[in-house]
Amino acid sequence: MIEAGMGYFEGYSPHYLGSNHYHFASFPFPVLVVRLDRLQAGDNTRLFLFENDNLLLDISLDGRLPVDSDPVDAGQPKGAERQDSMLFRNTNYTRRGMPNLPVAGFAGLKLKWYMNEWLYVKIPFVTGVTLGNGFLPVGNTMAPEISLDLFGRHSSNMLKFSVSSTLADSSYMNYYYQVSPQYALPDRPVFKPEPGLVDITWELIAGMKLKPFLWIGGVLYLHDMRNSRVLDSPLVVAPISHSVGVGLTFHFWQSDIMVYSWK
């Protein structure tokens, strides 16, 4: 099955988990969906390595946006020291004088198990590399998740509640939360993180197919780092942060051949 169309997305998220600086994005995008028996691309991309009625093993893809640091002598933006602030900025004051973080891509495997029509468990394990300034290792993460979809796995609509915990190795923790001696400041002491829990994320996703060709949806993530191994990092300003996104897709053409797709 092939579908083509257009979409629009708008949303925001923290520069990194624990930051009170936020990215904001708003853009249209083309839609091209290809669904084959073993491959689904362009819409929740999957490569089916193994599947039966209730169990799926496929590839897992993820990414992190770049974070540009302010100069070390930059003036402090209003509210930068407050954990309840939301600073929509292109640069990050908390990381002033530290190296910029380029775009990072993550890839690995994901196991998904439907316990019944509405409840499922998902366990992705991914490893990351930078996609700018060379392919440097970022680290490994695993994020077990349990989800409840009130519409069920065979519906085109979705109202999903989930909770997941992100666990990371030393490389990942060092990449995002370490403060080396050369980057220490009076209000930013040296910090060496340990591997373990990064955050617990609560998620709400709602989506509805209004017409055969029109889909709208939104997502809300609440990131809780109060039990994180990096809570004491001076780079973690907001122990609780959130991400929000809304979007729609309009499919103006689809092929006559239909293929079953995992939700």
Q: CA 252 to CA 6: how far, in whole Å?
A: 8
Could you tell me the pLDDT band of residue 43, with boundaries at 50, 70 and 90?
low
Residue 49, H or E segment: strand 46-51
pLDDT at residue 48 greater than cutoff 90 = no
Q: What is the pLDDT of residues 112-165, one digit of tens each?
A: 999 999 999 999 999 999 997 788 999 999 999 999 999 998 898 999 999 999
Rounded (5°) CA angle 117-211-263: 25
Report pTM: 0.89
| pLDDT interval class at 262 (50, 70, 90) | low
The dihedral built from the CA positions of residue 79, 83, 86 and 90, taken in this order, carries a sign that is: positive
Alpha-carbon distance 223 to 94, whole Å?
19
Q: Give pLDDT tens digits for 233-244.
A: 999 999 999 999
CA–CA separation, 163 and 147 (whole Å): 7
The pLDDT score that the predictor gives to residue 46 is 60
Q: What average pLDDT does the chain have?
A: 91
Q: Say what the pLDDT of residue 33 is.
A: 74
Mean pLDDT computed over 204-211:
93
Amino acid 65: pLDDT: 94
Task: Note the pLDDT of residue 75.
Answer: 96
The pLDDT-based confidence of 252 (bands split at 50, 70, 90) is confident
| pLDDT score of 1 more than 80 | no
What average pLDDT score do residues 75-88 get? 96
Q: What is the pLDDT of residue 72?
A: 97
Return the pLDDT at 196: 98
pLDDT at 251 over 90: no
Pairwise CA distance, residues 209 & 246, whole Å: 14
Closest CA to 95 of 28, 5, 168, 20: 20
Residue 84, exposed/middle/buried by CB under 10 A (0-12, 13-18, 19+)?
exposed
258/53: higher pLDDT: 53
DSSP letters for 161-219: EEEEEEEE-HHHHHHHH-B-GGG-BTTB--B---SEEEEEEEEEEEEEEEETTEEEEEE
- Which residues have C-beta within 8 Å of that of residue 236, sequence separation ≥ 6? 18, 19, 177, 225, 228, 230
When pLDDT is cut at 50, 70 and 90, the band that residue 260 belongs to is: low
User: How far apart, in whole angstroms, are the C-alpha atoms of residue 218 and residue 14?
Assistant: 17
Q: Return the pLDDT at 261.
A: 61
Rounded CA-CA distance 248/5 in Å is 11
Q: Is the pLDDT of residue 49 over 60?
A: yes
Question: What value does the mean pLDDT take over residues 38-54?
Answer: 67
Higher pLDDT, 46 or 228: 228
